[in-house]
């Protein structure tokens, strides 16, 4: 859970109490995360290897590609974040075996906090700190943005048309992100759900 740092992530209602919440927020836990960076001139081979092993092609544009149990979040040219379920097996080792000499793999499982955001005012909340255009004409399900939220580096992607977003933020910055999110959602009311294990 994200509350090892300063504040306490606790389920309940934040901000306006009346009516349906404008934002519903839930921490997703128990995921494995790794940076995957293609070796020089090996991006296509790395993509092929992932496709064969996981049924997902690490994308070459800012999108997310999901396979059987691993999703690849675009993070830069030839650079992805692999996201999968937590297991006793080393995620880095598992990916390392697949990518071999095509890519370098770096475990990041402890580095980030993952949030899921939904609700009728979710775009309005995000607009208070995310400068990119999240209008459905500009950003759709499956799209990824590596950007900043309230000046903090995040990965943001859309997982459903409703819309539902996921936001991956650096753990040691999470407290500041949380304060911004809570303040930004306060006028619409925010329901914080109990953390739940990550699924694709």
Partner 1 sequence: MSSRIAQGGAINRQQVCRFTFDGAGYSGYAGDSLASALLANDIRLVGRSFKYHRPRGILSAGSEEPNALVELRSGARREPNTRATDIELYDGLEATSQNRWPSLKFDVQAINGLFSPLFVAGFYYKTFMWPASFWEKVYEPLIRRAAGLGRAALEADPDHYEKSWAHCDVLVIGAGPAGLAAALTAARTGARVILADENFVLGGRCLAERRTIDGQPAADWAAQAIAELRSMPDVRLFPRTTVFGVFDDGVYGAVERVNDHLPVPPEFQPRQRVWRFIAKQAVLASGAIERPLVFGNNDLPGVMLAGAVRTYLNRYAVLPGRRAVVFTDNDDGWTTAADLVAAGGQVAAIVDSREPVIVSELARRFPDIQAIAGEVNGARGGRHVESVEVTSRTGTSHRIDCNLVAMSGGWSPTLHLTSHKGNRPRWDEERSIFVPDMLPTGMRVAGAANGDMTLGEALVTGFRQGLTAAASCGFSGSMPALPRVTEESARRVPLWRVRQALGKCFVDFQNDVTTDDVELAEHEGYRSIEHLKRYTTLGMATDQGKTSGVTGIALLAQRRSIPVAATGTTTFRPPYTPVAMGALAGHHRGMDFRPTRYAPSHRWASELGASFTESGPWLRAQWFPRAGETDWFEPTCREVKAVRSTVGLCDVSTLGKIDVQGPDALKFIERLYANNFATLAVGRTRYGIMLREDGFMFDDGTAARLAENRYLITTTTAHAVQVYQHMHLCHQTLWPELDVQFVSVTDQWAQFAVAGPRSRALLQRVLDPRCDLSNEAFPFMACGEVALRNGEPARLFRISFSGELAYEIAVPGHRGDALIRTLHDAGQDLGVVPYGLEALNVLRVEKGHVVGSELNGQTTAHDLGFGRMLSTQKDFIGSVLGRRANLIDPARPRLVGIKTVDRNAKLAGGMHFIPQHAQRSIEHDQGHVTSVCYSPILEQWIGLGLLTNGPDRHGEKVMVVDPLRGAETLVEICSPVFIDPEGARLRG
Partner 2 sequence: MRIPCPHCGPRTHEEFTYYGDATVRRPSATGPDAEAAFYDYVYTRDNPCGLHRELWFHQGGCHEWLVVERDTRNHDIKGAVPARSVFSADDAT
Query: Tokens in use for 162?
Result: 């409703």
* Residue 196 in the binding site for partner 1 (CB under 8 A): no
- 16 lies in the site for partner 1, by CB under 8 A: yes
Minimal distance in Å, beta carbon 39 to partner 1? 6
Q: What is the enclosing helix (H) or strand (E) of 174? A: helix 174-185
Q: Is the dihedral of CA 196, 110, 183, 152 positive or negative?
A: negative
Collapsing DSSP states into helix, strand and coil, what is residue 95?
helix
CA distance 50 to 95: 9
Q: How far apart are CA 78 and CA 144, in angstroms?
A: 15
**Residue with Cβ nearer partner 1 (40 or 161):** 40
Residue with tokens 């995957």: 36
Judge residue 189's burial from the number of C-beta atoms within 10 Å of its C-beta, 0-12 exposed, 13-18 middle, 19 or more buried. Answer: buried
CB of 105 to partner 1, least distance (A): 8
> CA geometry: angle at 136 spanning 160 and 185, to 5°?
70
Count the neighbouring beta carbons within 10 Å of the beta carbon of residue 180. Answer: 17
Closest approach of partner 2 to the CB of residue 120, in Å: 26
CB of 58 to partner 1, least distance (A): 14
By the rule CB under 8 A, 135 interacts with partner 2: no
- Sketch the per residue contact string, 148 through 167, with partner 2: x for CB under 8 A, - otherwise: x--x-x--------------
In angstroms, the Cα distances linking 169 to 27, 45, 155, 157, 188 are: 11, 29, 7, 12, 23
Pick the binder of partner 2 from 68, 131, 172, 196 (CB under 8 A).
131
Q: Is 155 in the site for partner 1 (CB under 8 A)?
A: no
The mark string for 22-61 relative to partner 1 (x by CB under 8 A, - otherwise) is -------------x-xxxxx--------------------
Contact with partner 1 (CB under 8 A) among 112, 118, 121, 155: 112
176 binds partner 1 (CB under 8 A): yes
Q: Contact residues for partner 1 (CB under 8 A)?
A: 3-6, 15-16, 35, 37-41, 90, 103-104, 106-112, 124, 127-131, 133, 135, 137-138, 150-152, 170-173, 175-177, 179-180, 183-184, 186-187, 189
């Amino acid at each position: 859970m994200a509350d090892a740092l300063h504040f306490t992530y606790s389920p309940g209602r934040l901000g306006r109490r009346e009516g349906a919440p404008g934002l519903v927020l839930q921490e997703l836990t128990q995921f494995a995360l790794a940076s995957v960076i293609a070796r020089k001139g090996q991006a296509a081979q790395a993509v092929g290897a992932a496709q064969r092993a996981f049924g997902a092609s690490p994308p070459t544009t800012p999108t997310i590609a999901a396979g059987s149990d691993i999703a690849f979040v675009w993070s830069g040219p030839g650079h992805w974040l692999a996201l999968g379920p937590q297991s006793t097996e080393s995620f880095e080792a598992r990916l390392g075996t697949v990518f071999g000499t095509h890519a370098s793999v770096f475990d990041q499982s402890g580095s980030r906090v993952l949030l899921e955001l939904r609700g009728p005012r979710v775009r309005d909340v995000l607009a208070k700190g995310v400068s990119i255009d999240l209008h459905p004409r500009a950003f759709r399900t499956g799209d990824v943005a590596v950007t900043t939220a309230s000046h903090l580096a995040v990965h943001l992607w859309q997982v459903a048309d409703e819309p539902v977003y996921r936001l991956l933020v650096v753990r040691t910055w999470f407290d500041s992100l949380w304060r911004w999110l809570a303040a930004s959602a306060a006028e619409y009311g925010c329901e914080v759900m109990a953390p739940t294990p990550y699924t694709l």
